[in-house]
Structure 1
Amino acid sequence: MQCRLLRGLAGALLTLLCTGLLSLRYHSSLSPDGAREAAALGPPSPLSPELQLRDVFITVKTTRAFHRSRLELLLDTWVSRTREQTFVFTDSPDEGLQERLGSHLVVTNCSAEHSHPALSCKMAAEFDTFLASGLRWFCHVDDDNYVNPRALLKLLKTFPQTRDVYLGRPSLNRPIRASEPRPHNRTRLVQFWFATGGAGFCINRKLALKMAPWASGSRFVETAALIRLPDDCTVGYIVECKLGGHLQPSPLFHSHLETLQLLGAAQLPEQGKVTPVQMPSPPRAPDSMPVYLNPLPIIFRERRRAENGTESHRGPLPGTGATLIPAFSREDLACGLDALCNCSSPSLGPQSLLL
């Protein structure tokens, strides 16, 4: 009995002592000396750590027909530096790609057709895999995009986590229109902006979770079929029409729809801060670096013509104001693309690249 009484008294004294110390610390923090001491300890820890590249989930959408002609170049360049963050979504197994990518090659059950349902099926797979990853950003690109990882990370860091972010580049100078089915066989005309998939786009996790009722599982394909539009348009429809959000346009995303110009290979190392893609409005800052480039359709078209022994176009390319000299190897092309985004310092030859 006496032991229990002594333990109880000791516990009460310890509680009073701790309360007194906490009270003294609180009052000292209100004094100038206490404020200086708190300041010396540094700023409070942020709610979330600074965004790192490992927090970004990058998806590449492709099909078996382009495994060799497009993906190999990506694997030799920017994907090799973002291997842990990049996942390739395709429609057919490929032993060569499986060996290089491992679990980062995702073979979907989607059709290989270039149709709205097939494209939406792959986008749904990308979206669901991102949600399951728990990462903070979802960035989609096509298999003919070149990504500048450092510029991408720098751009994403400018957006606070407290807001919904849908980032990309529209391909139209006006909102797109769609007919939204309503009850009793009625329709409603809606209009919205969307980021073209050919230039790539990014969505933060806060917004993606809100999109889930229309975008996760089979619901993305169903939503796309409802408005009869492709997958990239469907993303814009969900964000703007269903959630009341808005596309944040960025001049740092580039697609094949833009005007291109020629740069000699020897000039590429100086292009770290100036994109060779001529930009329409809105204007970009002079020190901006390209985040996504989409130069590959023209490059590969010209390479195929040269390899087939046909005479390649050596004059000005229509609509580009550029001249193409397609005498380069895959190594030269990879080297030039890396130098363009200041990702390495390669030894460049005299070949010219269309970018």
Structure 2
Amino acid sequence: MSSNIITYTHYVFTFTVLICAIGFAVWWECYGAIITAIQLPPVERNYPPCPLKGQVRCICAPHPSCTSTCSLEPFTCTEFCSINGCGCPISKVLNKHRNECISLSQCPDNRKQSAQEKELTIFNKKLEEVHTGYGSNIFFSVKTCNRLYRKRLFYQMLTWFQAVDKNKLSIVSDDPNAAADDVALIKRSGFNLLLSNCEPSHDLYSLCCKSAAEFSMYYRELDKHKNEEDKYQWYCHFDDDMYVNIPAMGKLLEQYDPHQPYYIGRWPKEVWGPMPRSHTGLNQKELDNIASFNYTVRRRQYWYAGGCGYCLSHAVMMEARRILLGDVNYCKVTLNTDDVSVGIVVGAILGINLTDIDEIHSQRENLSLSSLEQTMNYVTVSANRLVNLKTPFSDDKYGFMALHCLLYPSVSWCQHQKIVTQT
């Protein structure tokens, strides 16, 4: 009898201890969750990283009031639900650009900015639009890459980009996850930046991938404004190391009818010799490959515009659309680099000659003896080719600022600056 009582007491004691242990564990878990939810800011979990450096991914699904921190748009404050792993302390919000919990009144969108803070600058110089009266019927396209934003693109943004309609200027780059601060500045400056999924390299198909994205941007805008085709009469492409003289470009294109097939650029005569005596031609492998895509070659010889830029009339863009916007990248049709491939498509397949323009200058030319008057009449000029100009700006890496001041002396940072030729 006594042994049964002892056994029964043992079971009761064990069961009681077990219940207490479970109760304590549940209480401790709830307490931890409450404390974490109230006090802790968002923490990094073992999830894939967010697209911008320094961001955290807060997983709080299926709670409907939670939103992700993984946004590419900077300077946005969003309220988060206060549960474990998702959110700032009560009454705080997350500044997604700086990745820190702040009060709502500190949000960049909500606080009053000074005039100086609203003023966008590059290299400590204000971005100032200039109105030339030219270029209103041109769609400009520039190809770049994330590692060259500060080395090249920013110089264009400060200078000749300010002389064009930003709605008709597209910038195609690569790697959406790189150079977040630079990307934010480009977008805040009002420019259309397309971050493609093209590889950030300089090989044939990476460059052609970006070029295809450039053509897609043009056709997309053209389709969107079907009743305003007069605003998209020319497609002009330039690399990120070129300065474009917008008045000179506008005057040049005024001489040609965009409803006729024109391919305008500069034949690299420094390499091949002058036109029409020198030319390039398709070999048998290239001919066979083009034929395999059911395209007909009108002639084997062709000319192409080099990296100093080119313009295609609306008539050419319409005729070339089936190739440039085809299911297969046009460079895979031609088996060549992007600039040469455009020459093959327009010259060999469509049978349209290149209109060679001497005022479009390449990176291979020596312009050191050019006068100020000659320099101001350049249509385009490549980086490091403005060696004839003595720039007053210490940060004028390519001479773009000096040339910009020659053309637009009313720009505030150009005033009282004297631009002369090197002695």
Q: Distance in 2 between matches of 1:252 and 1:218?
A: 36
Instruction: Tell me what 1:191 maps to.
Output: 301
Residue 258 of structure 1: SS of its match in structure 2? coil
Instruction: Tell me what 1:140 maps to.
Output: 237
Q: Distance in 2 between matches of 1:70 and 1:129?
A: 22
Residue 238 of structure 2: SS of its match in structure 1? strand
- The answer to whether the 8 Å contact 1:199/1:255 transfers is yes
Instruction: Tell me what 2:256 maps to.
Output: 159
Q: Whose relative contact order is higher, 1 or 2, with alpha carbons under 8 Å and at least 6 apart?
A: 1
Which of 264, 288, 303 pairs up with 1:182?
288
Q: Distance in 1 between matches of 2:396 and 2:374?
A: 23
Q: Distance in 2 between matches of 1:177 and 1:260?
A: 30
Q: How many residues align?
A: 255
Written as runs of structure 1 = structure 2, the 5 A alignment for 1:265-344 is: 271=372, 273-275=373-375, 289-294=377-382, 296-297=383-384, 328-330=393-395, 333-340=399-406, 342-344=407-409
Unaligned runs of 5+ in 2: 1-132, 177-182, 223-231
| Letter matched to residue 138 of structure 2 | V
Instruction: Tell me what 1:97 maps to.
Output: 186
Instruction: Give the C-alpha shift of residue 83 in structure 1.
Output: 4.1
Q: Which moved more, 1:127-136 or 1:238-247?
A: 127-136
Residue 214 of structure 2: SS of its match in structure 1? helix
Instruction: Give the C-alpha shift of residue 165 in structure 1.
Output: 0.6
Q: Distance in 2 between matches of 1:351 and 1:157?
A: 30
Q: Distance in 1 between matches of 2:146 and 2:384?
A: 16
| Letter matched to residue 239 of structure 1 | V
Q: Name the CA shift for 1:127/1:353 in 2 (closer, same or farther; >3 Å).
A: farther
Instruction: Tell me what 1:235 maps to.
Output: 342
| Letter matched to residue 375 of structure 2 | T
Q: Distance in 2 between matches of 1:167 and 1:324?
A: 27
Residue 275 of structure 1: SS of its match in structure 2? helix
Q: Distance in 1 between matches of 2:253 and 2:243?
A: 17
Q: Distance in 1 between matches of 2:156 and 2:216?
A: 23
- The answer to whether the 8 Å contact 2:367/2:388 transfers is no
Instruction: Give the C-alpha shift of residue 350 in structure 1.
Output: 7.7
Q: Name the CA shift for 1:297/1:274 in 2 (closer, same or farther; >3 Å).
A: closer
Written as runs of structure 1 = structure 2, the 5 A alignment for 1:247-266 is: 247-261=354-368
- The answer to whether the 8 Å contact 2:244/2:380 transfers is yes
Instruction: Tell me what 1:309 maps to.
Output: none
Residue 282 of structure 2: SS of its match in structure 1? strand
Residue 199 of structure 1: SS of its match in structure 2? coil
Which has more radius of gyration? 2
Percent of matched pairs sharing the same residue: 26
Which of 161, 169, 175 pairs up with 1:79?
161
| Letter matched to residue 190 of structure 1 | R
Q: Distance in 2 between matches of 1:242 and 1:192?
A: 9
Instruction: Give the C-alpha shift of residue 262 in structure 1.
Output: 6.1
- The answer to whether the 8 Å contact 1:124/1:218 transfers is no
RMSD: 3.0
Residue 153 of structure 2: SS of its match in structure 1? helix
| Letter matched to residue 302 of structure 2 | F
Residue 53 of structure 1: SS of its match in structure 2? coil
Instruction: Give the C-alpha shift of residue 291 in structure 1.
Output: 0.9
Instruction: Tell me what 1:226 maps to.
Output: 333
Q: Deviations over 1:156-188 (max 9, x none)?
A: 111023410100001132212333242899xx9
Q: Distance in 2 between matches of 1:240 and 1:191?
A: 8
| Letter matched to residue 150 of structure 1 | P
- The answer to whether the 8 Å contact 2:389/2:402 transfers is no
Q: Name the CA shift for 1:217/1:207 in 2 (closer, same or farther; >3 Å).
A: same
- The answer to whether the 8 Å contact 1:181/1:226 transfers is no
Instruction: Give the C-alpha shift of residue 327 in structure 1.
Output: 8.0
TM-score, length of structure 2 as denominator length: 0.54
Residue 408 of structure 2: SS of its match in structure 1? coil
- The answer to whether the 8 Å contact 1:327/1:352 transfers is no
Which of 105, 109, 113 pairs up with 2:201?
113
Q: Distance in 2 between matches of 1:252 and 1:325?
A: 21
Q: Name the CA shift for 1:324/1:100 in 2 (closer, same or farther; >3 Å).
A: closer
| Letter matched to residue 91 of structure 1 | D
Q: Distance in 1 between matches of 2:135 and 2:288?
A: 42
- The answer to whether the 8 Å contact 1:328/1:352 transfers is no
Q: Name the CA shift for 1:207/1:329 in 2 (closer, same or farther; >3 Å).
A: same
Residue 139 of structure 1: SS of its match in structure 2? strand
Q: Distance in 2 between matches of 1:146 and 1:260?
A: 14
Instruction: Tell me what 2:322 maps to.
Output: 213
| Letter matched to residue 366 of structure 2 | T
TM-score, length of structure 1 as denominator length: 0.64
- The answer to whether the 8 Å contact 1:59/1:88 transfers is yes
Q: Distance in 1 between matches of 2:134 and 2:419?
A: 37
* Greater helix content: 1
Q: Name the CA shift for 1:175/1:334 in 2 (closer, same or farther; >3 Å).
A: closer
| Letter matched to residue 105 of structure 1 | L
Q: Distance in 1 between matches of 2:392 and 2:408?
A: 23
